[in-house]
A and B are shown apart, each in its own frame.
Chain A
Amino acid sequence: MANQQTRVALVIGSGGVKCAAALGLYKALKREGIEIGMMVGAGVGVIYAALLALGLAPEQMADMGAQLWSHALTAKHKRRALWQILLPNVFGFDENFGTVDDTLLWERLRAAYGDAKIENTTIPLYIAATDFHNGEQVVLTQGNIVDAVRASLAIPYIFQAHRVDGRLLVDGSLSDPLPIGVAIKENANVILTLGFESPYQGKINALMRYSFQVSSVMSNNLLKANYAFHALAHHGEILPIRPQFQQHVGLFDTDKIPAIIAAGERAMEEQMPYLNKVLALAQ
């Protein structure tokens, strides 16, 4: 087991429902008696980073994750959004634009996290969001989990930005899809990462698909550039955990969560012999 000097961080980046694989990683680590010293999340990864940080039972977290992130979240569109696009001067296009009504998202976030505060979690929690005005990464380390998670889930074009402590925040993936730098800055020695590249559109036959394709190209290149820098900049070890899925997993395929968790557990188990060696060396 790691000693006090060895801080193991789990960084969960973007990846939709695939981020549930974090629960499998956690199960494998717990079985080996390896404690996670800090949780870092961005994008959809914050959902699971926050659940893990609260120290809930794995089964409970799987249920909550499935209930929280499903296709129903995007079912109700804002009619006004279309008019804002077509007639911006008449309908007032502004920085709070989003095409989807976020009422259900708020309800689910409140049901999942209640009044829990970031600073009171069992495992120290760092939630990465992005300042929409200047693009800077904003790391939230205190305040309501609900607000922080909502901010990091403000996926451009879909959910509107959310204001926290006077700053208008959007998806943490926009500044770093896999915020390893947060764990480096907070002196984690061994950093486990779970993040996924943004999927490319099969068919680009609509403006939104075109926009998402552009976002994916930029986001994936940002992921690679940041990963390369962090790999060189870290004084310890960064272990990317790469679950292999037997079938295609879409952004909201919550019915596949058990298989996703199992894939995460297998991927972590494959790395376990090496992780144990790294932790033994660090002692």
Chain B
Amino acid sequence: MDLKTDKRDDVVVLAISGSLDALSAPELADTISAQLGAGSVKLVADLAQLDYTSSAGLRVLLNGVKAARQKGGDLRLAAVQPNVKKVLDLSGFMSIMKSFPDVAAAVASYA
């Protein structure tokens, strides 16, 4: 997994690429935790380049969205690719997380 962080006004975009699994999920968990700890509670997960997510990845996303909402923010999804969307649908995540076709729309949704 490769993880890049970009700030757009008060929204932090986490671009996650490759595979989000038990080996890579801790890095994303740490990054989300650090952002929330620093007061950045409006998060966007850019999944345009994410090919795969396992249950470990799902747990990190779930913990992330819960923690962000507890702080008055949110973790929103952008550009979810079909393979990953199937997993998110199957696990019920699409029913509780806001998803947008691209990063610009996800960032704009916080306005």
Contacts and interface: CB of A to CB of B under 8 A. Distances in A.
Interface stretch (A55-63, A71-79, A227-235): A227-235
B45 interface: no
Q: Which of A232, A234, A235 has the most CB of B within 10 A?
A: A235
Contacts of A176: 95
Contact of A235 (B67, B91, B92, B98): B67
A43 interface: no
Contacts of A234: 66, 96
B70 A235 contact: yes
Looking at A5, A137, A176, A184, which has the most chain B CB atoms within 10 Å of its CB? A184
Nearest to A185: B96
B97 interface: yes
B37 interface: no
A34 B80 CA distance: 38
Contact of A233 (B62, B70, B98): B62
B65 interface: yes
Contact of B95 (A5, A181, A187, A232): A181
Interface in B50-109: 62, 65-67, 69-70, 72, 74, 91-92, 95-98
A190 B25 CA distance: 29
Contacts of B65: 233, 235
A121 interface: no
A230 B96 contact: yes
A120 interface: no
A184 B75 CA distance: 12
Given A187-B74, A233-B62, A181 B92 contact: yes
A233 B92 contact: yes
Sort chain B's interface into a size bin: 10 to 19
Nearest to A233: B96
A141 interface: no
A235 B65 CA distance: 8
A184 B96 contact: yes
Main secondary structure of the interface of A (DSSP, over half): helix
B14 to A, nearest CB: 18
Contacts of B91: 229
A213 interface: no
Contacts of A181: 92, 95-96
Contact of A229 (B67, B92, B98): B92
A229 B89 CA distance: 13
Interface in A151-181: 176, 181
A137 B72 CA distance: 26
29 contacts: A137-B95, A176-B95, A181-B92, A181-B95, A181-B96, A182-B95, A184-B95, A184-B96, A185-B96, A185-B97, A185-B98, A187-B69, A187-B74, A226-B92, A229-B91, A229-B92, A230-B96, A232-B62, A233-B62, A233-B65, A233-B66, A233-B96, A234-B96, A235-B65, A235-B66, A235-B69, A235-B70, A236-B69, A236-B70
Given A5-B72, A229-B92, 15 more contacts: A137-B95, A181-B96, A182-B95, A184-B95, A185-B95, A185-B98, A187-B69, A187-B74, A229-B91, A230-B96, A232-B62, A233-B62, A233-B96, A234-B96, A235-B66
Interface of B: 62, 65-67, 69-70, 72, 74, 91-92, 95-98
